Each structure stands twice: as C-alpha cells, then as structure tokens.
Amino acid sequence: MRMCSANQSTQSNLGIVRPGGRLVLWTIFALIVVLFQATSLGQAQEASEWSRAQGLTLVGSRAAGLAGAFTAVADNTDTVYWNPAGLERLTGTEASLSYQIHDEENPIQMNLSLLAGRRGEGGGGEGLGVLISEIEVPGESEEGTNGEEELEKVKIKQRVVILSKSFRDKQTGLSFGVSLKYLNEKIEKTEHAAGADVGLLYRFGNYLSVGLVARNVTTVFDDVDSFEDEYQIGLAGSPIPSLTLSGDVTNFLGQDDQPKTFRGGIRYQPLDMLTLRGGYMGIDPEEGDSESVVTGGISLFDIRKGAGRQLGLDYAVTYNVDAEEAELTHTISATARW
C-alpha cells in the first residue's frame, strides 16, 4: 500500500495524473509546433494581392472594430476564428451571424460568417464556424479590343468549416485551444485543404491577458495559398472595468513570405447597453506594400460576461487609408446567447 501511494505521489508530481499537468504538456507541444513551422519556411516572396486581401479580412464585427487586435481579448464568439483558447471565456452558449458589405474597389466582394461557441461546465469550451467569401484579385494581363492591355479579374470562392475545442487549467489560469479547419476553394478548379490552428491564452487576474495563436500550422490535401502559416501574439489590459486596450503583432516570427502586421484596439463601455470600439492596422512597409487601415465599431445591448442580455447587435467599419481609391467595409452582426 505504501509503495502504491508513493507511485501515485510521484506521478502526481510529474503532472501525469493532474489535468493541469496534461495542459502543460499540450502547451509545450503547441510551442514546439510553432517553432518548427517558423524554421521550415521557404524563401522570400513579395506579398501578393491575395495575401493582401486575406490580411484585410476581419472576421466578426467585434473583432473588426478592434482591427483584429483580438488574440488576447478573445471574450466572445469571434474567438472561434481568432483564438480558440478564448472559448472558456464565453458565458453559456453564443451564436453570431455576420455579413460584410464592400464597395466596388474592394477586392473582397462577399464575406459571410456564422460562429457559435459553448463554455463547458468544468471549464474550456467548444466552437463551430462557417465562413463563406468571394474575392476578386488581378490575374494575367490580356490585350483588349483597342490594343491596350487589360487586367483580367479572377474570382476566388471559399468555404471554410471550423471545429474548435479549448481546455483550461484552473490552477494556473492557462488556456489551450485547437481548431480543425476544412477549406473548399474554387478558382479555375475546386481544391480542398485541411489545417489546424493552436492558441494559448493566459490571464493575470482580471486586468491583463496575453494570447498567442498559430494558424494553419499543418495542412493536408492540396497546396492552397490561402492556408499559409500565420502567427499572431497579443496583449490586452483593462486599467478600469469599462475600458480595454489591446495590441497584436501578426507574423512576428519574421516569416519571409508574409508581411509583419501591427494591430491596436480600444474598447470602451460607457453604458451597459452601449460599447464603442476603435482600431488601427498597419503592414510593415519594409516587408510588403504599405497598408494602413482604420476601424471603428459600436454594439447595442452588447453580450459580454455580466451584461445580462440575450441579444446583441454589432456594427464595424474599416477604411483603407492607403488605397488608391477609398475602400470601405461594413460588417453587421447579430448575436444570441442562451
């Protein structure tokens, strides 16, 4: 009996029996995957119009209002896309439907997303996402009827399904999340791909959070350009309960084929039924074409922890400052909680 107790004590100290120990092992695994992917990147390439369009795509009104500086905020259904580790921050079950309206100059012609998440009784949570988008990018130039070269437009149709799961260690406050994604993409022919996202989220009390997410760390099936590796790290703080400041850096590991992007956001809730958002996103001009995007957003009857509402209406607008012609994107979302 004493030998058995000693073995159990040893296993517990090694973290093999405790749930927290298993979470630490998952965290180490996620960091190894991120570092392995970062060291296996190929040679330098210029950022394409496709990657530009992808970088300017902001899923969900509440994340869009913060210019995508959402990795460490991660407190609503938008986290299914941005950081699956944040699913444990949901209260009950939430579902949101978002639709984006673009002007004619914007390469993104249509973007519809349905995101749903549920927080588990013992911590952690599950999520589901469906994304539908159509993007027009320049193709090969052809000689027109008047003898001048005309740039052909190529339309890309995407359908993405996301399944997410998160785990949380109550003792350390560390959360780990993983998303499995399936992509159906049609350009000239239909291609398929599958990938995985891994995310980490750590809270220092109720005032400061750090988040890390690696997107598309593994891909199988076809070699689809839109499933390129992407790494984002973020910091969020609340100096007062009604104010949240957040900052993110995308592709901070210095991938040669992806420009580094800086994001910053501010969220202020002056009233229980009103939340205001603002953000800025800029692409490093040394690593790609200079892009600056300013965002703003508003929520009525905002659904967040403690708000006590069952329905939320959200709106966000993004403005591309450096575009030759003004590029505006309007995102409208409706969220329900039960």
Q: Which domain holds residue 140?
A: 2-337
Nearest to 338 by CA among 86, 94, 77, 96: 94
CB-based burial, 31-46: b 16+ in 10 Å, e otherwise: eeebeebbeeeeeeee
CA pair distance 183, 193, nearest whole angstrom: 5
Binned at pLDDT 50, 70 and 90, residue 5 comes out as: very low
Quick count: other Cβ atoms within 10 Å of Cβ 8? 11
Q: What proportion of the chain, given as a percentage, has pLDDT over 90?
A: 34
Nearest to 88 by CA among 116, 61, 123: 123
* Dmax (CA) of the chain: 93
What's the rounded mean pLDDT across residues 155-167? 88
Residues sharing a CB contact under 8 Å with residue 286, sequence separation 6 or more, in sequence order: none
Cα end-to-end span (Å), the chain: 49
Give the CA distances from residue 249 to residues 185, 234, 235, in Å, rounded to whole numbers and listed in that order.
27, 6, 9
How many domains are there within the chain?
A: 1
pLDDT for residue 313: 92
Give the CATH number, domain containing residue 123: 2.40.160.60
Mean pLDDT of the chain: 76
Provide the residue type at 75 as one letter: D
Binned at pLDDT 50, 70 and 90, residue 19 comes out as: very low
| Contact predicate 231/250, CB 8 Å | yes
Provide the residue type at 286 as one letter: E
Structure tokens at 231: 């790494």
